Amino acid sequence: MSHRSRLTAVLVDVPAAELDRTASFWATAIGKEPKTYDKLPEYRGYGEVTPGIEFMVQGTGDAVPRVHFDIETDDVEAEVARLKALGATEIGRHHTWVIMQDPSGTVFCVVTIQVQEMFERHATSWD
């Protein structure tokens, strides 16, 4: 069974106390008002800032800001296994997504399909 994956989102992760100020800055910087989510109050979602790439700001429990990106896939377990075999490490799970690090320690997430049409058109197939 093959599965597919694609870079789908860029997220600005900031200390929770900085969330509102940072979200307001990016609203004006990219020209889009963010959505809020009842079940995920730490997130602000700006939708696609350019076709196929969503932009979000997230309040975290960490003291320092960070940017991370998400890889969407039609099979999270298969994609996590593929990336582990290449040298990545799984460092946590949260809701439906898996938090991973590349060999240098860079953090990224593997998530379910977020932008269906762009996934169908542009995801890479892995055997």
Q: Are 74 and 61 in contact (CB under 8 A)?
A: no
Which of the residues 21 through 40 are near a second copy (CB under 8 A)? 21-22, 25-26, 28-31
- Is 63 near a second copy (CB under 8 A)? no
Amino acid at 108: F
User: How many CB atoms sit inside 10 A of residue 59's CB?
Assistant: 19
| Tokens standing for residue 30 | 């990219």
Q: What are the residues whose beta carbons fall under 8 Å from the beta carbon of 51, sequence distance 6 or more?
A: 118
- Is 109 near a second copy (CB under 8 A)? no
- Is 67 near a second copy (CB under 8 A)? yes
Question: Which residues sit at the interface with a second copy, rule CB under 8 A?
Answer: 6-8, 10, 12, 14-15, 18, 21-22, 25-26, 28-31, 49-53, 55, 64-69, 83, 86-88, 102-108, 118, 122, 124, 126
